[in-house]
Structure 1
Amino acid sequence: MRGPLLRLVFAVALPALLVAVWWVASAGSTDVYWPPLRTILEAFPHVWTAERLRSDVLPSVLRLTGGYALAAVAGVALGTVIGSYRRVRAVCEPVLEFLRAVPPPVLVPVIMLFAGIGDTMKVTVIAAGCVWPVLLNTVEGVRAVDPVMAETARSYGITGVARLRNLVLRSASPQIFAGLRQALSLGIILMVISEMFAASNGLGFTIVQFQRGFAIPDMWTGILVLGLLGFLLSVVFQWVERRALGWYHGLRASVRRSP
């Protein structure tokens, strides 16, 4: 009981401190671009009504989910193949290094030429940026499979799908989840950027519209919504990770407790 309570205190303490500092620092502000936090919070319920949440936040979440899911599937599948075969890795590595060096936002105008300006473009942009952390971490995780365990599996005749599921992916899963965590934060950024290009709804589109209309407190409420969305997605991800990697965290805890 004490452990979860301490984690909750630590999780809440820093955000509460930052909000308090923001409140005090902006209390007497007369700058139109830096309104008091009190003004922003007063505008929040009037701006983010149920209708706006349905018309702007929900489409953003659906685009993020679609692009993130595509990146996860493609990254794990390609990473497993590349990490399992040395020759494939030798052929693909120069191309991967080249593509990884290209910033995903730069691809937005290019993707617009082929995918148009609809949801397909936005999902593609998110997937194109999120795939790299997943892919590269999967490659390294597959390469790091314990050779003793691999030889043991071969000796017992564990091959094919059973070997892939019970040895390769299970051993690489901690690094795969590390890549998925990196991809999640990157996906939120790309979601906003993609919605700033020829969009008619979404969080990125709404924040830009507030900025262009000089509705500065409303713009800040949109930034707060983005932060809350990122925090909520992080909590959900941590819950999934704990359940999927329970064996790994249990193993690490037992190693720390051992003399």
Structure 2
Amino acid sequence: MSYAADRSRRIRGILMRIVSVLAVPVVLIAIWQVAAHSAQHIYWPSPSTILGAFPDTWFTGRLTGDVLPSLGRLLAGYLLAVVIGVLGGALVGSFLRLRLLLEPVFELFRAVPPPVLVPIIMLFTGIGTNMQVTVIAFGCVWPILINTVEGVRGIESTQIDTANSYRITGARRFFRVVVPAASPKIFAGGRQALSIGIIMMVISEMFASTNGIGLNVIEFQRLFQLTPMWTGIILLGLIGVLANALFRLVERRVLRWYMGMQAQER
């Protein structure tokens, strides 16, 4: 195959992927636009109306005063949950007795909806950034921790035996053997936790905050500013899409070896 033909095939493949990704959203937006234009309902503005109000709503003072603080709290809470979840999950997964002792507690806290605990967390941390970061971390930690436990439990005995043979212990064993072997499960939990983190970010800001996207959305609703309220909802959706895309990019780079193995098995 010539270079030109190979290049043309790659370009067609990229275009087909772009079309497959954008086809459904474009169709849904078109249906929304037509339906909203026909209904002319105050509670249901059209996408074009929302898009027109978007820059004035978020690209002025709210970008630095609300959007960036929300993203900062989301990042801090999520990273805290990753550290606690991975370290705790690796420890619990490595010892059978500890796992049997703590798994019922993990399942109990995982079953409790995190928003219910926001008022309780407020009692201990007060109102402010610490409360919001704690709420986000608490919501995110459970899927990461439980998936890490399962990932550590699923490590093949040959890997453990090989590490023992070469006397790989301590931190070196943790970072060279345990974490890489459990990383597919860890990333699966991290992806689940990402959407939970965005939800908890919004809820914590709606409960008690002086800034943030969630606070603005609820204030727009209370003031009956419905189009700005919709821009906030769309902004949260875009943040979720971009965060997931960034997560997948990191996942592909870190788990390149694992995805290569999966491709070979197929």
CA distance in 1, matches of 2:239, 2:69: 13
Give the secondary structure class of the aligned counterpart of 1:174.
helix
CA contact (8 A) 1:27 1:37 kept: no
> What residue ranges of structure 1 are gaps of 5+ in the alignment?
none
Q: Does 1:30 pair with 2:29? A: no
CA distance in 1, matches of 2:182, 2:54: 43
* Partner Cα distance (1:51, 1:232) in 2: 22
Aligned pair 1:125/2:135, yes or no?
A: yes
* Counterparts in 2 of 1:4 and 1:144: CA distance versus 1, 3 Å: farther
Report Cα offsets for 1:146-200 as digits up to 9, x if no partner.
1122222222322222222222111100000000000000000000000001211
The alpha-carbon deviation at position 223 of structure 1 amounts to 0.6
Q: State the match for 1:103 in structure 2.
A: 113
Question: In the aligned structure 1, how far is the partner of 2:60 from the partner of 2:261?
Answer: 45
| Counterpart pick for 1:47 among 47, 54, 57 | 57
1:163 partner amino acid? R
The aligned runs of 1:1-259 (5 Å cut-off) are 1=10, 3-256=13-266
Q: Deviations over 1:61-100 (max 9, x none)?
A: 0010010010000000000000000011111112112211
CA distance in 2, matches of 1:49, 1:165: 42
Structure 2, unmatched stretches of 5+, are 1-9
Give the Å deviation of 1:206: 0.3
Provide the rounded CA distance (Å) in 2 between the counterparts of 1:180 and 1:223.
23
CA RMSD of aligned residues (A): 1.3
TM-score (norm 2): 0.92
CA shift at 1:29, angstroms? 2.1
Structure 1 5/24 Cα, relative in aligned 2: closer, same or farther at 3 Å? same
State the identity as a percent. Answer: 56
Deviations 1:180-236 (A, max 9, x none): 000000000000000001211100000001000101011001111111111111111
